[in-house]
Amino acid sequence: MTSDQSPVDGLEWAARRGMGALAEKMGMRFVEFSVERCVATMPVEGNTQPVGLLHGGAYVVLGESLGSMAANLHAGPDRLAVGIDVNATHTRSATSGVVTGVCTPIHLGRNLAVHEIAVTDDQGRRCSTIRITNLIKDMPGR
């Protein structure tokens, strides 16, 4: 459901909207998508630092992609959510397999949406915690 309470299939909506060229290049795949919870995976391979660890920026791309998309689903069809703040704390390094980001809302308001994204490795250990704040505004020209 979007904030205006109209039924929306989140995965279908996300597929139509697209996740963006960067997220696609990084191999992100949406698994679950609703206003209350969004889940995506990303391979470690191809997204590493020279020493073989998943790049810290890759965690942030996963988190920001999930949080921004979730905020836009919440905003509804005539509004646009744009990121105004993102921060991340990395607590473990993934070196193989896939990581999974689970995005949940902290605050869903009319003008701001705040989400937390917990990123875990294949063993379910938290590797990074990302928080993103999105400003919600009317679409340009409307």
pTM tops 0.95, yes or no: no
What is the model's pLDDT at position 9? 84
pLDDT tens-digit readout, 1-21: 444 444 568 888 888 888 889
User: In terms of Cα–Cα distance, which of 20, 26, 120 is closest to 72?
Assistant: 20
Is residue 123 included in any domain, yes or no? yes
Is residue 81 included in any domain, yes or no? yes
Is residue 51 included in any domain, yes or no? yes
59, pLDDT greater than 50 = yes
CA distance 28 to 97: 13
Is residue 16 included in any domain, yes or no? yes
What is the model's pLDDT at position 16? 87
Quickly count helices (H) and strands (E) in the chain: 3, 6
Is residue 68 included in any domain, yes or no? yes
Is residue 88 included in any domain, yes or no? yes
pLDDT tens-digit readout, 60-99: 999 999 999 999 999 999 999 999 999 999 999 999 999 9
Q: How many domains would you assign to the chain?
A: 1
Handedness of CA 20, 22, 23, 25 (dihedral sign): positive
Is residue 36 included in any domain, yes or no? yes
Q: Name the strands in the sheet holding 79-90, side by side, starting at the edge strand that comes first in the sequence.
A: 29-33, 38-43, 98-108, 112-120, 126-138, 79-90
For all residues of the chain together, what is the average pLDDT? Answer: 92
Q: Print the domain residue range for 26.
A: 10-138
What is the model's pLDDT at position 142? 63
CATH code of residue 19: 3.10.129.10
Degrees (nearest 5) of the Cα angle 119, 83, 6?
A: 85
Percent of the chain clearing pLDDT 70 (strictly above): 94
Is residue 29 included in any domain, yes or no? yes
Question: Which positions are catalytic?
Answer: 64
